[in-house]
Structure 1
Amino acid sequence: MEKLGQWYTLQALSGKENKARQDLERRIEQDSMQDSVLEVLLPTEKVTTVRQGKKITQNRKFYPGYLFVNVDLIDENGIMKEDVWHFVKDTYGIINFLGGDNPVALSDEEIQDIKRQLEKTEDVAKPKIEYTVGEIIKIKEGPFESFEGTVTEVDIERGKLQVSVVIFGRSTPVEVEYDQVEKNDFD
């Protein structure tokens, strides 16, 4: 008979979510709690930023300050297993279950939505800042530096924008990379 737990949301120290996940996974292994704590999930996506002219790929958390855990927390009589609850809650970096002393399980639809979100982002590093068609941007480097333009096309896969800029009184399409532009601040 396969044991199935329920998914719960854990509040974690901000910026320490990954450490909390690692510590919980390590403790599960050390204390042989694999039958009670079935899976720990920290949803992230790869994001590309440019710093000092270099492209850097980082992992960005979908839900900063939160982890998700599949845990067998409720016994067959509907009573919370205090030992399992304390085991998870007493892990470094974990503040509490969402719901505190009365944790609320996620629905199947909620956890499936989170997992689908993860599947969409696998192996695709996307830019940290997203642009939309019609948005006015400022070109910060390249031959059209300091020109303002309107985004006419967004190519997320290649990290490029098609921008319409006015040169000598005429609207001209220009292709630029995400890291060559910035959102225009209308101060």
Structure 2
Amino acid sequence: MSEAKWYVVHTYSGYENKVKANIDKTIENRHLEDQILEVRVPMQDVVEMKNGVQKATQKKMFPGYVLIHMIMNDDTWYVVRNTRGVTGFVGPGSKPVPLTDAEMAPLGIRQENIVVDFQEGDTVQVIAGAWADTVGVIQSMNIQKQSLTINVELFGRETPVEIGFAEVKKM
């Protein structure tokens, strides 16, 4: 099994977020979380002047393109290639070419080793966001997304909620 690399996928212009959502849904449905690790539409902060008012917005760095961190094999290639809105991988002919580390550096995407002081089964308290002051037990952790899933009681039943690492502290 080869290691995961970043690939560039060409999409219809304006369909980048739909393609990302569709691939994310397919990953979940087909249980490919261990093969397609991350789908990203690179954005950059831009300050615009409109009617004399400064407004900070986010713009796509590469309109018409989506970055995918995945292990290339027949299954993952098929899933991505046959996603609605995808016109193909970037590379000569039909062979996808992974981005090099030098090409990834200016995009601000780095493989960071995150060290957290909690693990699955630990009890944590949410300190920020909509679920602030909620206490729950960690059910699963996603290091790529820097998030974890806890069960919270909602309307009398346990409901899984995904929360970022920065929003919790160990009890």
Q: With the length of structure 2 as denominator, give the TM-score of the two structures.
A: 0.56
The alignment-based identity, stated in percent, is: 30
Runs of 4 or more off by more than 6 Å in structure 1? none
Any stretches of 5+ residues in structure 1 without a counterpart?
Answer: 74-80, 118-187
Matches within 5 A, 1:27-42: 27-42=26-41
Q: 1:40-119 alignment to 2 at 5 Å?
A: 40-73=39-72, 81-99=73-91, 100-115=93-108
SS in 2 for 1:10: strand
Q: What is the DSSP-based 3-state SS (H/G/I as helix, E as strand, rest coil) of the residue aligned with 1:22? A: helix
- Alignment partners' CA distance in 2, 1:19 and 1:98: 18
Count of residue pairs brought into register by the alignment = 109
Classify 1:72/1:116 alpha carbon distance in 2 versus 1 (closer, same or farther; 3 Å): closer
CA RMSD of superposed structures (Å): 2.3
How far apart are residue 3 of structure 1 and its match? 7.3
SS at match of 1:35: coil
SS in 1 for 2:108: helix
Taking structure 1 as reference, are residues 52 and 113 closer, same or farther at Cα in structure 2, changes over 3 Å only?
closer
Return the alpha-carbon distance in structure 1 between the equivalents of residues 58 and 85 of structure 2: 19
CA distance in 2, matches of 1:59, 1:93: 22
What's the CA shift for 1:98? 0.5
